[in-house]
């Protein structure tokens, strides 16, 4: 039987960092599944964090309802995928920084609620670096600023190894959200950091996400080679 020892005092678990540019959704999705499978086969392998952006695309969670689409999914010009994460429909596009952590939660806590709150904490701390007060809303997953949802979270965990993750709206064109009911929440709007900080630097935010992620999860980031499937 495999055992998962607790971290040694003073040591940090390693995490391979893939800091990428814009990658189409399907390619990134296949890559995530490959990274997760590698760590299922070899649980001692370093965790991974993929940071990237996507061209415009809509995604639906496993049990997401089509009623939250404002277009016909059978006859549409939009790129649309149903994937294995939790949650309802969401939208990805350039200017939105996406983080896909591939973590073995047996080395952290085997608790999905804990993991979701940790992802929210990463976002809240990054926002605080820009003097923005990120908030949680009881009963909902994600982060809000002044009642505008600024980050969406959706995960899939298999054998305690994670995939999918969070999307932080830094400076995207938000018009794509008008074609859906984002995350199935009709009474709250979507926002971005750029609405509060017009000259926000997405490169800086990306670096802050990487740093804060390591801080929140207590891991050491290792720069990795470019992605390959």
Residues designated as active site:
183
> Could you tell me the two tokens for 195?
């609405």
How far apart (Å, rounded) are the C-alpha atoms in residues 50 and 206? 11
- CA-CA-CA-CA dihedral for 2, 40, 104, 118, to nearest 10: -140
The 3 state secondary structure assigned to 161-215 is EEEEEEEEECCCCHHHHHHECHHHCCCCEECCHHHCCCCCCHHHHHHHHHHHHHH
How far, in whole angstroms, is CA 37 from its chain's centroid? 18
CB 208 within 8 A of CB 126: yes
| Residue of 82, 160, 151, 145 whose CA lies nearest to 115 | 160
């Amino acid at each position: 039987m495999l055992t998962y020892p607790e971290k040694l005092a003073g040591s940090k678990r390693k995490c391979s960092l893939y800091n990428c540019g814009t990658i189409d959704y399907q390619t990134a999705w296949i890559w995530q599944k490959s990274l997760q499978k590698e760590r299922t086969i070899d649980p001692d392998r370093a965790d991974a964090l993929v940071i990237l952006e996507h061209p415009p695309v809509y995604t639906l969670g496993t049990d997401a309802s089509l009623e939250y689409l404002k277009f016909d999914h059978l006859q549409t010009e939009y790129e649309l995928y149903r994937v294995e994460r939790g949650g309802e429909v969401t939208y990805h596009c350039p200017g939105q920084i996406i983080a896909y952590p591939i973590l073995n939660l047996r080395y952290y806590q085997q608790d999905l609620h804990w993991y979701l709150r940790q992802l929210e904490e990463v976002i809240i701390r990054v926002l605080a670096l820009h003097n923005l007060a990120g908030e949680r809303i009881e009963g909902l997953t994600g982060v809000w600023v002044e009642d505008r949802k600024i980050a969406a979270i959706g995960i899939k965990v298999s054998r305690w190894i994670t995939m999918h993750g969070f999307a932080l709206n830094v400076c995207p064109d938000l018009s794509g959200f008008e074609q859906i009911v984002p995350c199935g929440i009709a009474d709250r709007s979507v926002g971005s950091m750029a609405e509060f900080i017009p000259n926000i630097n997405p490169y800086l935010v990306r670096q802050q996400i990487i740093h804060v992620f390591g801080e929140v999860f207590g891991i050491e980031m290792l720069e990795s080679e470019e992605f390959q499937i």
